[in-house]
Homo-oligomer: A and B are copies of this chain.
Amino acid sequence: MVAHIITIGDEILNGQTLNTNAAFIGDQLANIQVQVNKTSVIGDDHDDIMSEFKNCWAKNDLLIVTGGLGPTHDDITRNCIVKFFKTELIQSDDVLDDIRQIFQKRGRDVRKINEAQALVPKISKVIRNHVGTAPGIWIEKENKIFIAMPGVPYEMHAMMHSFVIPNLIDKLKDLPNVQKSVTLESTGIPESFLFEKLGDISELLDGAKMAFLPSQIGVRLRITVNEKTEEDASNKLSEIEQKIRSKAGRYIFGRDGEKLEEVVGRILHERGLKIAVAESCTGGYLSNLFTNISGSSNYFERGVVAYGNASKVEILKVDEDTISEYGTVSLEVAKQMAEGIKSISGTDIGLSITGIMGPTGATEGKPLGLVYIGLCDEEVCTAKKFTFGEDRILNKQRTAQAALEIVRRHLLGISFDD
């Protein structure tokens, strides 16, 4: 089954909104081995929509469209669908009920323009929407499937989980070949160094595919195999993974989209350890990463965003003389912050960050991107120096990732020396 995803919306074309929808759908389809060959984005324009429907319907088995199903005047996807499939609109009582319930739940009166959203193409199955007002549309014709969903991400996600994926799986009973993928998540090593460490890639892969996906917080390695049976595919995949780990295992912290904060959280939880965080320049970014993980209250005790020096002294008990002597951004202050947050929280580990994120704040001998990360537990109290770049947001991300990696390596006993 070959698929094409169309995203409709001027706001995507002009970059006002990120196309997270195509990514989400691509990921969901990859999981059930439906191959997305191409995705496209077009504007809220009748002629563009009609011509894209025509082209893509001809070339694919599955066409998924998002966007333009809302209640306002600029939403024209539904009318284009009606025209493309030469059908008409009829009222769905189920959808009308859903819409009324949504408004009731929010304690607001239902609007006429929302009631009009209960009109759906006659030849379609309705995909119910329990978190918003626009229903989704599922049409089967000429042995192909056409799906339209609202552009609001969480509404579309709910429809994918509850309706689209289960129904597609149902259609996909007998697959010829088994394709399987794994993604290894690495951090702390640049792409070209990782490439070199892996040696002869074609020998390593033996016909499989591998992509290097670099970002500011690490390089992801995606390996894809295509074999006759599920078992063959699994075996080949784990063979390749083992070879890679034997060559660059220390940099690999997880698989298949795992985040470093999840991995670190899991190790802390398994060992019954608690951590507290004192951040200066990252301003809460690291605490936010920790607490994005459900269940983090089991190991994340507290965070202090000690942005001004007063809070470093008052809350974290950093010595004022140390600040005067070495400066706020120094190995010594990082250590004292880690020691301080550990001691006031009564946790097993104290983790600290002090640095200069930019775009301003550099001084003689202390460039933008200079960061010290401190870690203290019962046995050690140490800090490590990093020099990142000049972009404030990227620096926050890189710094937080480095801090998490310091915790991971500390807990697993992996050294930073090559």
Interface set of A (CB-CB < 8 Å, partner B): 9-20, 22-30, 36-44, 48, 52, 70-74, 106, 108, 111, 113-114, 131, 133, 152, 154, 181, 183, 190-193, 195-196, 201-202, 209-216, 220, 222, 257, 277, 279, 282-288, 290-292, 294-297, 300-308, 310-311, 314-315, 344-346, 358-360, 389, 391-394, 396
Interface pair A284/B308, CB less than 8 Å apart: no
| Of B40, B74, B111, the contact of A192 (CB 8 Å cutoff) | B111
| Of B23, B133, B183, the contact of A19 (CB 8 Å cutoff) | B23
Interface pair B191/A70, CB less than 8 Å apart: yes
How many Å lie between the Cα of A103 and that of B190 in the bound state? 11
Given the interface contacts A285-B288, A344-B314, does A302 sit within 8 Å of B303 by beta carbon?
Answer: no
How many Å lie between the Cα of A365 and that of B348 in the bound state? 35
* A215 / chain B contacts, CB cutoff of 8 Å: 17, 152
Interface pair B291/A302, CB less than 8 Å apart: no
* A201 / chain B contacts, CB cutoff of 8 Å: 72-73
Interface pair B16/A19, CB less than 8 Å apart: no
Given the interface contacts A14-B27, A23-B15, A74-B212, does A302 sit within 8 Å of B308 by beta carbon?
Answer: yes
| Of B37, B195, B358, the contact of A113 (CB 8 Å cutoff) | B195
Majority secondary structure of chain A interface residues (helix, strand, loop or mixed): mixed
* A70 / chain B contacts, CB cutoff of 8 Å: 191, 212, 214
Question: Which of A14, A36, A106, A284 neighbours the largest number of chain B CB atoms within 10 Å of its CB?
Answer: A284
Question: Which of A30, A190, A283 neighbours the largest number of chain B CB atoms within 10 Å of its CB?
Answer: A283
Interface pair A193/B283, CB less than 8 Å apart: no
Given the interface contacts A38-B40, A222-B10, does A183 sit within 8 Å of B16 by beta carbon?
Answer: yes
Instruction: Return 7 A-B CB contacts under 8 Å, by A number.
Output: A11-B211, A16-B222, A17-B215, A18-B20, A291-B305, A297-B308, A302-B315
* A190 / chain B contacts, CB cutoff of 8 Å: 106, 108
Closest to A394 in B: B154
| Of B28, B212, B287, B302, the contact of A15 (CB 8 Å cutoff) | B28
Given the interface contacts A18-B18, A296-B283, does A213 sit within 8 Å of B11 by beta carbon?
Answer: yes
Given pairs A13-B37, A22-B41, A304-B305, 13 additional interface contacts (CB within 8 A):
A14-B26, A16-B23, A17-B23, A37-B42, A106-B190, A108-B190, A108-B193, A154-B391, A283-B296, A284-B290, A285-B291, A294-B359, A301-B308
Given the interface contacts A40-B39, A40-B40, does A284 sit within 8 Å of B303 by beta carbon?
Answer: yes
* A15 / chain B contacts, CB cutoff of 8 Å: 22-28, 30
Interface pair A212/B19, CB less than 8 Å apart: no
Interface pair A42/B38, CB less than 8 Å apart: yes
How many Å lie between the Cα of A11 and that of B209 in the bound state? 12
Interface pair A27/B23, CB less than 8 Å apart: no
Closest chain-B Cβ to A82's Cβ sits at a distance in Å of: 21
How many Å lie between the Cα of A286 and that of B360 in the bound state? 22
Interface pair A305/B307, CB less than 8 Å apart: no
